[in-house]
Amino acid sequence: MLKVLLTRDIKLAVRSGSGVWLSLMFFLLVTCLLAFAIGPQDDLMRSAALPFLWVGVFLSALLSLDRMFSYDFEDGTLARIVTSPIPIEAVVLVKVLVHWAGTGVPLAIAAPFLGTLFGVPMETGINAGISLLVGTVAASAIGSFGAAISVVQRRGNLLLAAMVLPLFVPTLVFGTRAMSPYSTGDEAASTAILMLVAISLAALAMMPLVSARVLLAHIRN
């Protein structure tokens, strides 16, 4: 049954591919605007590139978070799942993984190419993309909490952003530190990478449980 749900969500994500393209286009626009704002200051652009890429990825991921549960909540699918043998926590986990595969992975792949706008070498950009691939797991997992809270709210995007963005800060801090061009090979960078992995694993383990409880409260009310 869980496999059927996973297949269904993947098909829905593929059919509504506009969300992926919207996130990528937003990421491109944010990156270009920041590059134009800094201007032809090569040293400043290179030093600010990775933080800008992380911020751009997180803002782009927000665009599709509101759809994580809204469709299933509106058509009654989530209410039916509550009475089925499938744990709702597993359903949330599936949706987190599908969201990450549909937004986090494409954004992480695009990051090295967009990093060249800031004069970042491709090798450094690839390392940044790998760190983003890990960090976006935490973004999708944490985002499920905001999506669950805002699923019944009008103008839920504003509430979602207010709830989720502060929770992204630890991932942002350790992610930029891990892939800083000035700390490659540094012991502090290695520690930051391990912390980034730990944050993503902890978010993937804990946030589906919290989000499931929020969804249950909405369904029962």
pLDDT digits (tens, 9 = 90+) for 48-107: 777 888 888 888 888 888 778 877 777 777 778 777 777 888 888 888 988 898 888 888
pLDDT of residue 203: 93
Q: Where are the beta strands (DSSP E) in the chain?
A: none
pLDDT of residue 206: 93
167 Cβ neighbours under 8 A, 6+ residues apart:
142, 145, 146
The closest alpha carbon to 175, from 121, 123, 139, 122, belongs to 139
What would the two tokens of residue 18 be?
A: 């506009």
Is 0.95 surpassed by the pTM of this model?
Answer: no
Residue ranges for the chain with pLDDT beneath 50: 182-184
What would the two tokens of residue 172 be?
A: 């942002």
176 Cβ neighbours under 8 A, 6+ residues apart:
50, 51, 54
What would the two tokens of residue 52 be?
A: 């800008």
pLDDT of residue 182: 45
Domain-by-domain residue ranges, the chain?
A: 2-220
Q: Are 69 and 147 in contact (CB under 8 A)?
A: yes
